[in-house]
Structure 1
Amino acid sequence: MGGVTSSVAAKFAFFPPSPSSYRLVCDELTGLVLMNPFPHRENVEILKLPTRRGTEIVAMYVRHPMATSTLLYSHGNAADLGQMYELFIELSIHLKVNLMGYDYSGYGQSTGKPSEHHTYADIEAAYKCLEESYGAKQEDIILYGQSVGSGPTLDLASRLPRLRAVVLHSPILSGLRVMYPVKKTYWFDIYKNIDKIPLVNCPVLVIHGTCDEVVDCSHGKQLWELSKEKYEPLWLEGGNHCDLEHYPQYIKHLKKFITTVERSVSSRMSTGQSENQSSDLEMPRQSVDKREKPRKSVDRREKEKPPKGPSKKSKLRITFEQHLDRSRRSVDFHEKARKSVDHQHHHHQNHHQIERGRKSVDRLDRVRSE
């Protein structure tokens, strides 16, 4: 069954740009890996990362001198790093974050072939690099998934209990649900986000266009409803699948969200407040939010004698590497490559180049018609 699932995913979900929009070159003097045709930037590093499935992916890390958060960005199914390069630079500048983007296996100059399970291994490799090479802590990382990138984003987020936040940009409930109004999850479905979002324990921001012709806005709304920690969503009136960055509200809302979660973390650290306590992070909720009321403790043993050995909390702490070894089952899907970044900041001379590099090549309509 796994083979059937993977073949379905490959057929419907993956459209890597061909040829790749960039190539890698090694600077003979410095030994640095550079991304041609883009000029070298002091705050940008190009990396090659091994994955647990034997492929090697290309990633780029953008450093911001004032950053306290790191954004790990999973792009769509029909783009590569060359098409996302300028967007990542702009997001790092305007959001004041460090940012890592990566190409899935089989995309750009990453080795291997695209598959659903490869995307999960790919994001794990990028996350591991952030921890080991850049000293990022789980509590400092914000996962950002756009369209089909919401698949690896939510898969990883569901296994990392102390993440700072998650951003879902035009996300999908699952691959099958994009094409058919099914009410249940089938074994051959792809990117089963509907089953994973309830497992995410950090604040979730959902951004979706109300006129999305590829992934209906109802996908984003239902994922928001199923989130444990809801942040005020952004429903962009008239927005389609790959033009949301044109709206001034996009970057404004993202800034507000990141500022809010950073302040919330700072407040908890200064007051010793438990992570499970409510804070000013959460916005007014709709009636769909059915959070449980705090339960009274029924444990009376603490008054009798102190516990021996490791506490329950320490026993329950599972390392990230143990989490990554969990077997998964899912499949893949796809999306449109996006066009640009924050429209209000795009009045510079590279505008034409960015737009040309990020044309939509989404193939979903073709799949539907077959």
Structure 2
Amino acid sequence: MNGLSFSELCCLFCCPPCPSRIAAKLAFLPPEKTYDLISDETGSRYSLHLTERAEWQYSQRELDNIEVFYTRTSKHNRIVCMFARCTPNAKFTILFSHGNAVDLGQMSSFYIGLGSRINCNIFSFDYSGYGASGGKPSEKNIYADIDAAWQALRTRYGISPQNIILYGQSIGTVSTIDLASRYEVGAVILHSPLMSGMRVAFPETKRTWFFDPFPSIDKVPKITSPVLVIHGTEDEVIDFTHGLTIYERCPRTVEPLWVEGAGHNDVELYGQYLERLKQFINVELAVN
């Protein structure tokens, strides 16, 4: 247990912290909303209105290819879903669970750029309490959020599980792993994953405590789909060892992408990021 202070040891063994408090401290920082959903006269269809903070990089044509709507979760929160039609001949649709401190408005340009380059459409959602989604962020809610998004993608667009790739980034890997442990899909991409909340807060933690939030490390052995793990070797938020251990625990991993010198928020800026995704989706999955 080297590395823990006396007060931290007391906290762990004498008065273990409330899981929701660990989760809130580690994970949930909803940004100021960068978009609105504008309803039509019937109130049944919505269009996306982006603020300047969204930093949209494309034309109205690309914006028109983004569909937005609300869906209701099992926790009774109304969350926003977004379907970005990036390419006309996409075999796969990516169900993308984004990272912390961003919302769908900020991610929309990235989705269009990524999807068009790797020949995939992208479906995403804002967690409870993020963007225009109702409710408050919590561990239980993020599981309910991705379940609702999954059901919306399956029923509204009729996409088969084998044509869906689950992509989780940072805190988004928590809900992605949870869903992937319960459903077989085309593939799973884990970008800067974390083993558990306590292992981020207290790096010397070697087991999953009953109050440990986000226990992804205990769920990854149940994933039956092919898994690509991506992690920067100099990640200052979620240490590289988290990605390495997740990779070792997944039953069906492919060649991982360890981005030498990359931190937590700049992996996408390295050329090998896009190249590895293209190879995985257009070559490796194509032969399965």
What one-letter code is carried by the residue in structure 1 that aligns with 2:113? E
What one-letter code is carried by the residue in structure 2 that aligns with 1:26? S
What is the RMSD of the two structures over their aligned residues, measured on CA atoms?
1.9
Say which of 11, 17, 37 aligns to 2:25. Answer: 11
TM-score, normalised on structure 1?
0.68
Render the CA deviation track for 1:151-208: whole Å, top value 9, x for unaligned.
0000000001x31110010110111111212011101111111101110001110111
Gapped runs of 5+ residues in structure 1? 266-370
Q: In the alignment, what sits opposite 1:301?
A: none
Gapped runs of 5+ residues in structure 2? 1-14, 51-55
TM-score, normalised on structure 2?
0.86
Say which of 35, 42, 52 aligns to 2:48. Answer: 35
Q: Equivalents in 2 of 1:128, 1:240: separation in Å?
A: 33
Q: Equivalents in 2 of 1:31, 1:5: separation in Å?
A: 38
2:68 aligned with 1:46, yes or no?
yes
Paired residues of 1:165 and 1:261 also in contact (CA < 8 A): no
Shift of 1:250: 0.4
1:162-181 pair list within 5 angstroms: 162-180=184-202, 181=204
Q: SS of the residue aligned with 1:145? A: strand
Paired residues of 2:235 and 2:264 also in contact (CA < 8 A): yes
2:144 aligned with 1:130, yes or no?
no
Paired residues of 1:204 and 1:227 also in contact (CA < 8 A): yes
Paired residues of 2:45 and 2:69 also in contact (CA < 8 A): no
Say which of 244, 247, 250 aligns to 1:221. Answer: 244
What one-letter code is carried by the residue in structure 1 that aligns with 2:49? N
Q: SS of the residue aligned with 2:83? A: strand
2:110 aligned with 1:96, yes or no?
no
Q: In the alignment, what sits opposite 1:199?
A: 222
Q: Equivalents in 1 of 2:283, 2:43: separation in Å?
A: 40
Query: Max radius of gyration: which structure?
Result: 1
Structure 1 residues 126 and 31, CA gap change in structure 2 (3 angstroms):
closer
Q: Equivalents in 2 of 1:218, 1:8: separation in Å?
A: 20
Q: In the alignment, what sits opposite 2:5?
A: none
Render the CA deviation track for 1:302-342: whole Å, top value 9, x for unaligned.
xxxxxxxxxxxxxxxxxxxxxxxxxxxxxxxxxxxxxxxxx
Say which structure, 1 or 2, has more relative contact order (CA 8 Å, 6+ apart).
1
Q: Equivalents in 2 of 1:70, 1:192: separation in Å?
A: 27
Aligned residues: 262
Q: In the alignment, what sits opposite 1:361?
A: none
Say which of 227, 234, 249 aligns to 2:272. Answer: 249
Q: SS of the residue aligned with 2:255? A: coil
Structure with the higher strand share, 1 or 2? 2
Paired residues of 2:84 and 2:122 also in contact (CA < 8 A): yes
Q: Equivalents in 2 of 1:76, 1:62: separation in Å?
A: 18
Q: Equivalents in 2 of 1:264, 1:243: separation in Å?
A: 30
Shift of 1:59: 1.2
1:68-87 pair list within 5 angstroms: 68-87=91-110
